[in-house]
Amino acid sequence: MTPATAVDALAALAQETRLKVFRLLVTAGPVGLAAGEVGAQLGIAANTLSFHLKTLSQAGLLVARQEGRFIYYAANYASMDDLIAFLTQNCCNGVACLPKTSAMATTAKRRKNSLKEYA
Amino acid sequence: MTPATAVDALAALAQETRLKVFRLLVTAGPVGLAAGEVGAQLGIAANTLSFHLKTLSQAGLLVARQEGRFIYYAANYASMDDLIAFLTQNCCNGVACLPKTSAMATTAKRRKNSLKEYA
DNA sequence: ATAATGCTTCAACACTTCTGGAAATAACGA
DNA sequence: TCGTTATTTCCAGAAGTGTTGAAGCATTAT
């Protein structure tokens, strides 16, 4: 992750509507949601939503796939991970400065839930 | 962390100069660096730097303390942690979607290094 | 006192971003 | 084919952001 890429991603998230959209898609899982569904759930006009989805996609935070007339958007977990790694790089020299972050996805949790759940 | 707080923090980080400053202070540890030192290391004019330090501080990402003529700025690890927790909340239902993030600060690492290192 | 140092504030300008209406494109159904 | 649905693009105006030079405060040194 380059500084420029990180700035793009952060700028994309630094807007109320886009942050709502992103968080909705983060909880929605890898399958994602159709654009219209996102708009309906959050009460956003189609053209405005399209603008914000484009911004998030260009920043690499969302991936889009077409299915018939619908376009599904899903969170790009890998780039979110890269962004967080970039922000916390060399933080505190390994001391426990980020308790919530480290608790969030422990090795134990990872072992308990397999990726196949989404297959 | 409220959505508004998160947007403020993300907006503060979504700027090349500020991101550089923040990352420098993240690696600098809890003691922080004097404003002038930050400016010297990154090559930023005093007035410009002051503007950006203020933005980062108001967003809660930095804490400032005066020491004589110098003002030391340090990363606020707690708010960075809150921000990451906010972004990744309910992500992927516990599946291993953020490998780097979870590897970043494991329980093992936390035990190995005590907070007293900075006392 | 006076000067020097460290940092901040102010005002002005160029530049970018967000929003909303209207029109365009694309896929499907009758 | 024609209409409907899903989504995007274009445009213009309003609002916000970053940079610069000059001036202003505090704190320390002479």
Counting the structural domains of chain A, the total is 1
Q: What is the pLDDT of residues B31-55, one digit of tens each?
A: 999 999 999 999 999 999 999 999 9
Of B82, B95, B117, which has the smallest distance from its Cβ to A117's Cβ?
Answer: B95
Beta strands in chain B (DSSP E): 33-34, 62-67, 70-75
Any idea what DSSP says for residue B45?
A: -
Grade residue B22 by pLDDT with cuts at 50, 70 and 90: very high
Grade residue A91 by pLDDT with cuts at 50, 70 and 90: confident
The reply to whether A42 touches chain B by the CB within 8 Å rule is: no
Would you state the structure tokens that stand for residue A31, as one six-digit string?
């399958």
Beta strands in B12-94 (DSSP E): 33-34, 62-67, 70-75
Contacts A98 to B, Cβ<8 Å: 77, 80-81, 84, 104-105
Number of CB atoms found within 10 A of residue B17's CB = 16
In a domain, A70, yes or no: yes
Scan residues 7-36 of A and list those with Cβ closer than 8 Å to B.
Answer: 7, 10-11, 13-16, 19-20, 22-23, 26-27, 29-30
The Cα B59–Cα B57 span in angstroms is: 5
Among A98, A42, A45, smallest CA distance to B26 is for A98
In a domain, A119, yes or no: no
pLDDT of residue B99: 76
The reply to whether A91 touches chain B by the CB within 8 Å rule is: yes
Instruction: Report the share of chain A in percent with pLDDT over 90.
Output: 74
Grade residue A94 by pLDDT with cuts at 50, 70 and 90: low
Q: What is the pLDDT of residues A36-88, one digit of tens each?
A: 999 999 999 999 999 999 999 999 999 999 999 999 999 999 999 999 999 99
In a domain, B116, yes or no: no
A56 with A22: CB under 8 angstroms? yes
In a domain, A64, yes or no: yes
pLDDT of residue B101: 80
Cβ of B80 within 8 Å of Cβ of A98? The answer is yes
**All residues at 6 or more sequence positions from A85 whose CB lies less than 8 Å from its CB, including other chains:** A1, B100, B101, B104
Grade residue A95 by pLDDT with cuts at 50, 70 and 90: low
In a domain, A25, yes or no: yes
Sheet strands side by side (includes B33-34): B33-34, B70-75, B62-67
pLDDT of residue A81: 94
Would you state the structure tokens that stand for residue A96, as one six-digit string?
């426990």
Q: Is B94 exposed, middle or buried (0-12, 13-18, 19+ CB in 10 A)?
A: middle
User: Which domain does B61 fall in, by range?
Assistant: 3-78
A115 vs A15: which has the higher pLDDT: A15
In a domain, B45, yes or no: yes
pLDDT of residue A113: 34
In a domain, B26, yes or no: yes
Query: Residue B104: is its pLDDT beyond 80?
Result: no
CATH number at residue B21: 1.10.10.10
Any idea what DSSP says for residue A41?
A: H
pLDDT of residue A75: 97
Query: Residue A17: is its pLDDT beyond 80?
Result: yes
Query: Residue B113: is its pLDDT beyond 70?
Result: no
Query: What is the nearest CA distance from B52 to chain A, expressed in angstroms?
Result: 15
Q: What is the pLDDT of residues B41-96, one digit of tens each?
A: 999 999 999 999 999 999 999 999 999 999 999 999 999 999 999 999 887 665 66
In a domain, B8, yes or no: yes
Mean pLDDT value across residues B24-33? 96
Query: Residue A111: is its pLDDT beyond 60?
Result: no
